[in-house]
Chains A and B, each alone.
Chain A
Amino acid sequence: MIYKVINGEIRVGAVNIVNLASAASLFIGDCNSIVLKTINETPPESYIVGVTQPEETPEPTP
C-alpha cells in the first residue's frame, strides 16, 4: 500500500495546556511512528475493606 501525504501550510495561533501528565506529550513537528500504550486499572477488586496486616516481604537484594 502506498500512502501519499501532501502537507499544506500549518500555522497555529496559540496552544494553551494546563496540565500534561503521565507520559503524555505535546509534539510540534513531524514524526514517523508513534506508539502509545496505557493500562488504567480501577476495577471493583481494587477495594480493600477491613484491616490488612502487610506480610513481611523480603527486602529486594540490591
Chain B
Amino acid sequence: MNSRTSHVHSLTNISIDSSSVLQIGDSQKVDAQSYILAVQRDKVIFFENEFLFRDYVAFCEPFPLPSDCEPITTMTFHENPSIRVDKVNVSFAAASAVIHIGSSECVEMETRVKNIRHLVRNKR
C-alpha cells in the first residue's frame, strides 16, 4: 500500500487517559472500543452489583457489518509524497480515543453509550 509520510511540526496535548492511544508512525490495524453506561440519580446512592453491562441489550447486541456488494479495485496516486501539518493541538483525549499521525491499513472504532436518569420521586 503506497502511503504518504505525515510531517507534523508541533503537537500539543494536555491530557490523555489510560485507554487512549497517541500513535506517531504507521500502523497495521487500529481497533478501539468504548462502552459507556451513564447513570444520573436524584439520591447519590450506588450499589456495587448494579447496572451491569450484560443486563442491557445495547451492549450485547452484535453489530451487522456492511457487506461490500461488488468488488471495488482502488488505484491511488500521490502527486506529493508527504502530508504536512504545522500545528496540532488536541487538549483532551479520553475513552479510547486515538490520535494517529501516520498511515494505517484498517481502522475499526466502536462506541456504545446508554444514559439512564433515575428520579426517586414516586409516580403521580
Contacts and interface: CB of A to CB of B under 8 A. Distances in A.
Given A31-B103, A41-B58, A50-B120, A7 B111 contact: no
7 contacts: A2-B75, A3-B74, A4-B74, A26-B97, A38-B110, A49-B123, A50-B123
Interface in A7-31: 7-31
Report whether over half of chain B's contact residues are helix, strand or loop; otherwise say mixed. strand
Contacts, number: 219
A33 interface: yes
Contacts of A7: 4, 76-80
Interface in B85-101: 85-101
Given A37-B109, A59-B49, 16 more contacts: A4-B76, A7-B76, A7-B80, A23-B33, A26-B99, A28-B85, A28-B100, A30-B76, A31-B106, A34-B106, A35-B106, A35-B109, A38-B112, A42-B114, A46-B117, A48-B117
A32 B105 contact: yes
Contacts of A38: 110-113
Interface of A: 1-42, 46-52, 54, 56-57, 59
Nearest to B59: A39
A3 B79 CA distance: 17
Interface of B: 1, 3-4, 6, 8, 20, 26, 30, 32-34, 36, 47, 49-50, 52, 55-56, 58, 61, 63, 65-66, 70-80, 83-123
A19 B91 contact: yes
B3 to A, nearest CB: 4
Nearest to B114: A41
B74 A29 contact: no
Nearest to B105: A32
